[in-house]
Amino acid sequence: MKLRNTLAGMAMLAVPALSAVDLPDIFSDNAVLQQNTDARLWGWSKPGKKVTVTPSWDNKTYTVTADKKTGRWDVAVKTPAASFTPYSITFDDGEKTAIDNVLIGEVWFCSGQSNMEMPLRGFWTQPIMGAAQTIAYSGKYPGIRVATVPKKGSYTSQDRVEGKWKTSNPADAHEFSALGYHFAQSLTDILNVPVGIIACAYGGSKVEGWIPQEILDTYPGWDMNAERDSTLQEYERIGVMYNAMLHPLIGYTVKGFLWNQGESNVGRHKEYPAHQKEMIETWRKQWGQPDAPFYFVEMPPWNYGDPDADYAARFRECQHHAAGITPNSGVVCTTDVVFPYELEDVHASNKRDIGERLAFMAANRTYGINGIPATYPTFKSMDVTDNKAVLHFDNADAGFTPNDVLEGFEVAGEDRVFYPAEATEDYETRTIVVTSDKVPEIKAVRYCFRNFAIGSVKDLMGMPLVPFRTDDWE
């Protein structure tokens, strides 16, 4: 079926005739609501009907009137501190309905493309490392709940989308976002509270797929209207994920956002930081949470058509730039969590370490737990004397792991041709000294600045050195 016909059909869906309170899937049994806040709830009833909402944790009654045209109503309820005590919420407009086994905890919205979408069962021929064990022991985490939004696209904003909450158990866990689940598992271990994950990702989607049309229309070279009758596949289209998958969930009270996306924007590193920043600002504004944290994943090494080229490295560089220009955001480094045999696999199997690093960042920066490692060594400056370059770093006060070989460094002279370099650590100054017999006068140093390069340099906490270059050569 052609996309435009599917989208047109979706847009023509009428508001159903309601005989009782009608709730979107995101307010289902097993839901997790954000603790200690005014959590937003909504649904539909007969137009003009009064609806009462009563949560069992305090039995306080909230009354709201359904819109006279659409029947939609919205209300915010005060939530208590997190606990593993199950609650219920009753909705009554003359006929009662309720959702049960509701937990109060921490809620995170997880979005992006396939490396966020990828479930614990893996994709075809592409496994998740440790999946059998993760799924088998998932019942040990009854406080983890996941709502998975199905992949859809629309050229008009939708009010409804499927995706009910599921509990953490072996029968359901295989379909959970592997990255989202490992984040939730680590955060639960750190905070000892329930964690809810809303997984809203679409494999292959561009960042522009998650931005509303009124913003896209301001971007030169991006024309949503021109796409409508094109032969593009759905995941290649812009705006449609925002309309069909994200728009129906706007306002569900969350603690923050997690983002794993970028492969489909490789080659557009000059414009990407501004687009991602604007996407984040838009989401925060629409959620009514202007300071919500936004943590994202550095795009992992992969072939990208030529493992020795650097256009994917330039994109990783721009991701760190995006974090630098966006308040309350951060990016976790992934250079070290791929294996040599994954050269041709864009879906790296190690989601556990990435989810854990996201949880560490959230625990440290959002929840204020000091001592948890949440920063990465980053290049600061370089001193050069002929064929010796001395590299200085931020976030590396204790130096680097002394027993590891420092691989991945390259140097170039005036000809801009890079050669592998020898690197050693000066333990007294916490610097790295780089030399090469083939470059008598070093003009530039790069580290893991290739499409596919596995990082080996880490600090004493095991946090990897962020890939970098000292030049700005195009």
What per-residue confidence (pLDDT) applies to 19?
Answer: 55
Min mean pLDDT across 47-51, 112-116, 385-389, 452-456 is at 385-389
Give exposure, 153-168, as e/b (b: 16+ Cβ within 10 Å): bbbebbebbebebbbb
Task: Say yes or no to pLDDT of 177 above 50.
Answer: yes
**Residues near 373 by Cβ (< 8 Å), separated by ≥ 6?**
360, 364, 461, 462, 463
Burial (CB < 10 A; 0-12, 13-18, 19+), residue 208, is: buried
192 lies in the same domain as 314: yes
Domain assignment present for residue 474? The answer is no
What per-residue confidence (pLDDT) applies to 329?
Answer: 98
Domain assignment present for residue 173? The answer is yes
420 lies in the same domain as 279: no
**Residues near 178 by Cβ (< 8 Å), separated by ≥ 6?**
118, 119, 120, 122, 128, 131, 134, 351, 355
What per-residue confidence (pLDDT) applies to 402?
Answer: 74
What per-residue confidence (pLDDT) applies to 58?
Answer: 97
CATH number (domain holding residue 398): 2.60.40
> Torsion over CA of 21, 22, 27 and 30, rounded to 10 degrees?
80
Residue 455 DSSP label: -
- Which of 60, 84, 103 finishes a domain? 103
pTM of the complete model: 0.94
Single-letter amino acid, residue 290: P
109 lies in the same domain as 205: yes
CATH number (domain holding residue 90): 2.60.40.10
464 lies in the same domain as 406: yes
Q: How far apart are CA 31 and CA 101, in angstroms?
A: 7
- Quick: pLDDT tens for 123-133: 999 999 999 99
What per-residue confidence (pLDDT) applies to 20?
Answer: 82
Residue 24 DSSP label: -
What per-residue confidence (pLDDT) applies to 10?
Answer: 45
Give 370-404 as a DSSP string: TTS-----EEEEEEEETTEEEEEEES-TT-B-TTS
pLDDT band for position 12 (cuts 50, 70, 90): very low
Spatial CA neighbour of 452 closest among 372, 377, 340, 290: 340
Give me the mean pLDDT over the 460-465 stretch.
95
Contact 44, 73 (CB under 8 A): yes
- Which of 70, 103, 136 finishes a domain? 103
Task: Say yes or no to pLDDT of 266 above 50.
Answer: yes
86 lies in the same domain as 115: no
Q: How far apart are CA 99 and CA 97, in angstroms?
A: 7
Domain assignment present for residue 321? The answer is yes
Contact 179, 118 (CB under 8 A): yes
168 lies in the same domain as 92: no
What per-residue confidence (pLDDT) applies to 400?
Answer: 93
Give me the mean pLDDT over the 31-45 stretch.
98
Lay out the sheet containing 468-469: strands in order across: 418-420, 409-412, 444-447, 468-469
- Quick: pLDDT tens for 199-249: 999 999 999 999 999 999 999 999 999 998 889 999 999 999 999 999 999
Single-letter amino acid, residue 42: W
pLDDT band for position 6 (cuts 50, 70, 90): very low
Give exposure, 52-78, as e/b (b: 16+ Cβ within 10 Å): bbbbebeeeeeebebeeeebebebbbe
Task: Say yes or no to pLDDT of 52 above 70.
Answer: yes
182 lies in the same domain as 239: yes
State the total domains in the chain. 3
Give me the mean pLDDT over the 282-294 stretch.
98
358 lies in the same domain as 275: yes
What per-residue confidence (pLDDT) applies to 9?
Answer: 43
245 φ, ψ (degrees, to nearest 5): -110, -40
Q: How far apart are CA 452 and CA 300, in angstroms?
A: 8
Q: How far apart are CA 330 and CA 323, in angstroms?
A: 5
362 lies in the same domain as 216: yes
Task: Say yes or no to pLDDT of 368 above 90.
Answer: yes
Task: Say yes or no to pLDDT of 2 above 70.
Answer: no
Domain assignment present for residue 278? The answer is yes
What per-residue confidence (pLDDT) applies to 333?
Answer: 97
Contact 211, 279 (CB under 8 A): yes
Domain assignment present for residue 41? The answer is yes
Output the average pLDDT for the chain. 94
Spatial CA neighbour of 196 closest among 223, 163, 226, 229: 163
Q: How far apart are CA 231 and CA 5, in angstroms?
A: 12
Element housing 180 (H / E): helix 178-191
**Residues near 226 by Cβ (< 8 Å), separated by ≥ 6?**
none
What per-residue confidence (pLDDT) applies to 16?
Answer: 47
What per-residue confidence (pLDDT) applies to 4?
Answer: 45
Q: How far apart are CA 255 and CA 252, in angstroms?
A: 10
What per-residue confidence (pLDDT) applies to 229?
Answer: 87
pLDDT band for position 405 (cuts 50, 70, 90): confident
Domain assignment present for residue 74? The answer is yes
89 lies in the same domain as 138: no
Task: Say yes or no to pLDDT of 387 above 90.
Answer: no
- Quick: pLDDT tens for 150-174: 999 999 999 999 999 999 999 999 9
286 lies in the same domain as 433: no
- Quick: pLDDT tens for 60-113: 999 999 999 999 999 999 999 999 999 999 999 999 999 999 999 999 999 999
68 lies in the same domain as 173: no
Domain assignment present for residue 310? The answer is yes
Q: Measured between alpha carbons, how far is residue 309 from residues 165, 299, 301, 312, 313 in Å?
A: 43, 15, 11, 8, 8
- The domain in which residue 231 lies consists of 104-366
CATH number (domain holding residue 216): 3.40.50.1110
Burial (CB < 10 A; 0-12, 13-18, 19+), residue 175, is: middle
Pair of tokens at residue 170:
């072996």
